[in-house]
Amino acid sequence: MSIKIEEILTQDLQLGMFVSQLDRPWIETPFPMQGFHVRAQDDIDKLRVWCKHVYIDVQLGKGPLDFKMAPMLHKSTNVRAKVTSTSPVRGNLGKFTPTRYVVSSDIKKEVAKAAPYHREITQAVVKLFNQARDGKGVNFVVARKISRAVVASIIRNPDAMVWLARLKDKDSYSYNHSIRCSILAAVFGRHIGLQIEALENLVTGVLLMDIGNARLPRKLLNTDDAELDAADRRAICEHVQHSLDILESQDSVNDQVLGVVQYHHERHDGSGYPAGLQGTQIPLLARIAGIVDTFDAITSPRPWIEARSSTEAVSVLYSERDGAFQGKLVEQFIQSIGVYPTGTVVELSNQEVGVVIAQNPSRRLRPQVMVVMDANKVNLSRPRVVDLLTVTTDDAGQPLMVASCVTAGSYQLDLSRIHVNAA
């Protein structure tokens, strides 16, 4: 089922409309992320204070009398695209009618269904990287099957695969980074309504975008960025061309996949590589890849640095809106994964500790949390799930909410021993 979004001036807003986008990031405003119905004149008055125009979903709410199509994700802000390369840019998606996906499987059922696939995917990705390291051709058919499995699960429920990919090991960064990024890309693409074929191309491209790293010395990949000299940095940048060399030798790899691989290090402000592309000259799928690549890199441990929290990573991306990354896409990404992404360890306002197991699309600040420790930081014999959308106060009658995002190491939590079906 397709979704129809229209742009409207706030002076023309009417009761009954559903506001799905603002002309500024949600996080800068008092409005709930992920949209809301205009139910009172006060809603309209507040929107007029904060925004000049908004975007409305005419399927979820009332439509305007005179429609004007909104350019949405195909419009760049602040940065005008300019051609910096004589080679034609490949992999452009073009305009598309977003598809609205409905969750068809609950988190527990989908985790049980997807877990075997996730294990197989991990083994297959390790094999793909080993093939590339040994100078053999990468089995693209296997990569495509992996992508289809990821997309199918994410469409049914966008939280399950993210939960399964929550474990992060500094010693197997390359493999797991590719898997986590492909899952995040699928969640992001699902959120903005990419059609199935585009989703599969996106996930395939993200899965293989760093396959060229297999041709680089492992010592180089495991060296702190601050210790790299100019020659080292140039060598690392060459992983893009290595990836293209591996994939272009196969006839079955399409331009959208290759575009993700070739341009995922390009940046909105032209500061990226290898071609220094800007704005919307960078294909949409590659812009998505750049965002998820950066987010996972920040939240993953490396031999020289500890992982940073998801909220810190979100803050970094937010600070780079309309700089390194397109502002509207950054906001869409934050909406897609939530401020507290699935798998994040959080401390609640009543001092209990839990792990986010699912998002509430209508209220991203109030996810579903599996509580695993009491207020004294003692492990519960039986975890319990608290849906912060419906449970708004604690046992003492005080407001209940996420107080902070913490690392698993803060309380010696072993995430591998926490199972979504335990509660």
* Claim to verify: residue 230 and residue 329 sit in the same structural domain: yes
**What residue type is assigned to position 38 of the chain?**
V
Q: In this predicted structure, what is the pLDDT of residue 41?
A: 85
Determine how β-strand 5-9 pairs with β-strand 53-57. antiparallel
* Claim to verify: residue 120 and residue 188 sit in the same structural domain: yes
Q: In this predicted structure, what is the pLDDT of residue 303?
A: 79
* Claim to verify: residue 239 and residue 261 sit in the same structural domain: yes
Q: Answer whether residue 102 is part of any domain.
A: no
Q: In this predicted structure, what is the pLDDT of residue 378?
A: 94
Closest CA relative to residue 74, chosen from 5, 158, 27: 5
3-state secondary structure 64-127: CCCCCECCHHHCCCCCCCCCCCCCCCCCCCCCCCCECCCCCCCHHHHHHHHHHHHHHHHHHHHH
Intra-chain end-to-end CA distance of the chain, in Å: 34
Cα angle 281, 329, 36; round to 5: 145
Q: Answer whether residue 194 is part of any domain.
A: yes
| Cβ–Cβ < 8 Å for 151, 182 | no
Q: In this predicted structure, what is the pLDDT of residue 259?
A: 97
Q: In this predicted structure, what is the pLDDT of residue 282?
A: 96
Q: Which of residues 70, 95, 122 is at a domain's end?
A: 70
Q: In this predicted structure, what is the pLDDT of residue 225?
A: 77
Q: Answer whether residue 12 is part of any domain.
A: yes
Q: In this predicted structure, what is the pLDDT of residue 120?
A: 87
Q: Which string of DSSP letters, residue by residue, matches 124-180?
A: HHHHHHHHHHTTPPP-HHHHHHHHHHHHHHHHH-TTHHHHHT----GGGHHHHHHHH
* Claim to verify: residue 308 and residue 330 sit in the same structural domain: yes
* Claim to verify: residue 121 and residue 214 sit in the same structural domain: yes
Q: Which residues of 61-94 are buried (b: 16+ CB within 10 A; e: fewer)?
A: bebbeeeeebebbeebeebeeeeeeeeebebbbe
3-state secondary structure of 225: helix
Count the Cβ atoms, other than its own, within 10 Å of residue 333: 25
Q: In this predicted structure, what is the pLDDT of residue 421?
A: 72
pLDDT per residue, tens digit, the chain (423 aa), is 445 678 888 888 888 888 888 877 666 566 765 578 888 888 888 888 888 888 888 777 787 643 333 344 444 444 433 444 446 899 998 888 899 999 999 999 999 999 888 888 888 899 999 999 998 888 899 999 999 999 999 999 999 999 998 766 545 667 789 999 999 999 999 999 999 999 999 999 999 999 999 999 988 888 887 788 888 889 999 999 999 999 998 888 999 999 999 999 999 999 999 999 999 999 999 999 999 999 999 988 887 788 888 888 999 999 999 999 999 999 999 999 988 999 999 999 999 999 999 998 878 889 999 999 999 999 999 999 999 999 999 999 999 999 998 877 778 888 878 888 766
C-alpha distances (whole Å) from 219 to each of 17, 172, 222, 265, 297 are 56, 13, 5, 22, 18
Q: Structural domain tally of the chain?
A: 3
Instruction: Please state whether the predicted TM-score (pTM) of the whole model is above 0.85.
Output: no
Q: What is the CATH number of the domain that holds 209?
A: 1.10.3210.10
Q: Answer whether residue 93 is part of any domain.
A: no
Structural domain harbouring 352: 345-422
What is the rounded distance in angstroms from the CA atom of residue 306 to the CA atom of residue 73?
34
| Cβ–Cβ < 8 Å for 200, 147 | yes
Q: Which residues of 232-253 are buried (b: 16+ CB within 10 A; e: fewer)?
A: eeeebebbbebbbebbeeeeeb
Q: In this predicted structure, what is the pLDDT of residue 242?
A: 95
Q: How many residues does the chain have?
A: 423
* Claim to verify: residue 65 and residue 112 sit in the same structural domain: no
Closest CA relative to residue 182, chosen from 163, 209, 155, 214: 209
* Claim to verify: residue 291 and residue 361 sit in the same structural domain: no
* Claim to verify: residue 175 and residue 287 sit in the same structural domain: yes
* Claim to verify: residue 222 and residue 310 sit in the same structural domain: yes
* Claim to verify: residue 270 and residue 385 sit in the same structural domain: no
* Claim to verify: residue 268 and residue 396 sit in the same structural domain: no
Q: In this predicted structure, what is the pLDDT of residue 32?
A: 65
Structure tokens at 157: 């429920």
